[in-house]
Structure 1
Amino acid sequence: MMRRIPTALIVAALALGASNQAIADTSGKRIALSNNYAGNSWRQAMLRSWDKVTSQAVEKGVVSAADAFTTAENQVTEQAAQIQNLILQGYDAIVINAASPEGLNGAVKEACDAGVTVVSFDGVVTEPCAWRIAVDFKQMGKDEVLYLADRLPDGGNLLEIRGLAGVFVDDEISAGIHDGVAETGKFKIVGSVHGNWAQDVAQKAVAGILPSLPEIAAVVTQGGDGYGAAQAFKAAGRPTPVIVMGNRHDELTWWKEQKDANNYETMSVSIAPGVSTLAFWVAQQVLDGQSVPKDLVVPFLRIDQDNLEENLATTEAGGVANVEYSLEDAKAVISAAGG
């Protein structure tokens, strides 16, 4: 279950806000979302969350615009050009889900030099002038292997399904998985494919590598790939291993079916797509003149055997288990980070 922001933190943040009123009015400010990829259910849920929360903020006059832009291809050069265009269009802040942590730094620096606030999330940037909102993706990957070490005390062979090649999130989760394998000493990664965080891509990739692999004890994933992996094993006529899921509705539905049929047991973990809404509110708070630390960390959303049904019931078909953030939640995150 998602570890919600503690009530005490929210109360403290609201008290702070009451005693330290905003020093800048954001009602005339325009915020843009620069997104590098929309080809899977997580990104679609992320965009829906952005639209839902920001449209309400625009309607209430918190900001005058909160437009979303997605590049046609996951290319650094294309997103850099997009950011430059947003600068020219006069946006006061740009929220970025970046194609590369370093590749966009030049465009980000241009934005900062032009007086534009830049907040990155999920795929964060390393340019010091920008704000960053992320989960500890490396720990998320490591936690998968630590779970498997308890679940499978005798260890075994692992198949790793990675995300989009060259993206910061993919590198970090994979590094955490490999750290976990080294630390536990129980597992061996015998195959690795890129599933692009999409079940159809993952299914095809796993189907292609399975004939060359020995018996697989478990599949470590990054999200959006668990259901595709399960279908590939089924089509190959191979026993279903423990597959770590990524909070997608199709994954949770399949897990529930297997749990009911034969007590299949696993866990599921991902960052909530609604982190885009936290990034929006952080940008709004920076524009409002508030003191916001440059690095903010939010917990990942983990689902276990005992709360599967509860989370599945609140996840829309075709979507991802999610949490959307309010202004009060954002203030609490900022306050907890020392802002």
Structure 2
Amino acid sequence: MKIARLLLASATLGLLAAPQALADTADKKIALSNNYAGNSWRQAMLKSWQKVTSQAVADKVVAAADAFTTAENQATEQAAQIQNLVLQGYDAIVVNAASPTALNGAVKEACDAGIVVVSFDGIVTEPCAWRIAVDFKKMGSDQLDYLAERLPDGGNLLEIRGLAGVSVDEEIHSGIVAGVAKHPKFKVVGSVNGDWAQTVAQKAVAGILPSLPEIAAVVTQGGDGYGAAEAFKAAGRPTPIIIMGNRHDELTWWKQQKDANGYETMSVSIAPGVSTLAFWVAQQILDGQDVPKDLVVPFLRIDQDNLEASLEATEPGGVANKEYTLDEAKAVVAGK
């Protein structure tokens, strides 16, 4: 009846030709299912979600936008969480997935119940879901392209990987492998998991350093650069080129080294605010918009010439970020 009244009003005003959606999401509930929150990127992601969605609720764009996080990257726990969200009557579920495949059964159940599922960062492969992806493989291979320019003679690399079993880790790693194949003067001589966390990375690098030869550069996934730098310092070893991951502590360290001795590197990561893009995409789907199943957003890169500006715009303890507005989300959906 509500839509019928809107149609009647539009017809009366002669506005039926206007390209505006008539669906109403003011009574819709959206949930975020997050698999892990144990590093600064995830915390910034949740903070961005809360900031943007709380305003959307206040503006009555949606009725609710609640966030739920599992204990420790457990796919079985997250699948159960998604099933509970279905039972709780959410209209859409935004998912940062522990696995691209292990949640597919729960996602399919949600879709079959008429619920919109939008995955981002850690995406799912279930066809009924939407995916907001970053070219993480390119994020890995770009590191080798940069190092090839800086170190034309190549050298030994230490690779710091992310959280084991997560698609993001696998994709960035595959990009690094492809980059080494493209630039064969480089050789990965050691690999550790840093879980995208400074303290974990520092401990892991400290543990492997005594067994490694001279390291020319450290390739990373984000959140691990400062920890790697501290481990090299503690071991009394020369600081290699360490690729950073847009965290405030990494950018601060880089700025200090740049000022002191001209240290050069680059920094790259996905903006945590991609969670807000996923929220708006879910809202647009609920609003009856035609949204492609697969959307791609760029990663955020910081170079030597924009380090200071990027650091100034990044909160202490946070990550260089971008939060999306509804209009910006519409532009991404439209491929602009």
Q: TM-score if structure 2 supplies the norm length?
A: 0.95
Q: Determine if the alignment matches structure 1 residue 134 to structure 2 residue 130.
A: no
Q: Counterpart in 2 of 1:96?
A: 95
Alignment of 1:106-145 (within 5 A): 106-145=105-144
Q: Counterpart in 2 of 1:76?
A: 75
- Matching residue's letter, 1:269: V
Question: Which structure's CA Rg is the greater one?
Answer: 2
Q: Distance in 1 between matches of 2:276 and 2:183?
A: 36
Q: Distance in 2 between matches of 1:103 and 1:191?
A: 29
- Matching residue's letter, 2:117: V
What is the percent sequence identity of the aligned residues? 82
Q: Counterpart in 2 of 1:240?
A: 239
Q: Counterpart in 1 of 2:8?
A: none
- Matching residue's letter, 1:306: D
- Matching residue's letter, 1:98: A
Q: Counterpart in 1 of 2:21?
A: 22
Alignment of 1:146-157 (within 5 A): 146-157=145-156
Q: Counterpart in 1 of 2:285?
A: 286
- Give CA-to-partner distance per residue, 1:107-150, whole Å, 9 cap, x none: 00000000000000000000000000011000000000100000
Q: Counterpart in 1 of 2:63?
A: 64
4+ residue segments displaced more than 3 Å = none
Q: Determine if the alignment matches structure 1 residue 53 to structure 2 residue 56.
A: no
- Give CA-to-partner distance per residue, 1:148-198, whole Å, 9 cap, x none: 000111110000000000000000000000100001112000000000000
Equivalent position SS for 1:336: coil
Q: Counterpart in 2 of 1:178?
A: 177
Q: Distance in 2 between matches of 1:22 and 1:88?
A: 28
- Matching residue's letter, 2:279: F
Q: Counterpart in 2 of 1:187?
A: 186
- Give CA-to-partner distance per residue, 1:255-303, whole Å, 9 cap, x none: 0000000000000000000000000000000000000000000000000
State the superposition RMSD in angstroms: 0.8
Q: Distance in 1 between matches of 2:153 and 2:309?
A: 31
Q: Distance in 1 between matches of 2:123 and 2:73?
A: 15
1:24 shift after superposition:
1.1
- Matching residue's letter, 2:186: F
1:19 shift after superposition:
3.9
Alignment of 1:298-313 (within 5 A): 298-313=297-312
- Matching residue's letter, 1:194: N
- Give CA-to-partner distance per residue, 1:5-42, whole Å, 9 cap, x none: xxxxxxxxxxxxx9421131000000000000000000
1:72 shift after superposition:
1.0
- Matching residue's letter, 1:183: K
- Matching residue's letter, 1:239: P
Classify 1:115/1:202 alpha carbon distance in 2 versus 1 (closer, same or farther; 3 Å).
Answer: same
- Give CA-to-partner distance per residue, 1:280-339, whole Å, 9 cap, x none: 0000000000000000000000000000000000000000000000000000000017xx
Equivalent position SS for 1:286: helix
- The structure showing larger relative contact order (alpha-carbon pairs under 8 Å, at least 6 residues apart) is 1
Q: Counterpart in 2 of 1:13?
A: none
Q: Distance in 2 between matches of 1:179 and 1:23?
A: 47
The alignment covers a number of residue pairs equal to 320
Q: Determine if the alignment matches structure 1 residue 160 to structure 2 residue 159.
A: yes
Long gaps (5+) in structure 1: 1-17
- Matching residue's letter, 1:137: F
- Matching residue's letter, 1:196: D
1:75 shift after superposition:
0.5
1:96 shift after superposition:
0.2
Q: Counterpart in 1 of 2:319?
A: 320
Equivalent position SS for 1:157: strand
Q: Counterpart in 1 of 2:202?
A: 203
Q: Determine if the alignment matches structure 1 residue 262 to structure 2 residue 233.
A: no
Q: Distance in 1 between matches of 2:18 and 2:221?
A: 42
Q: Determine if the alignment matches structure 1 residue 31 to structure 2 residue 30.
A: yes
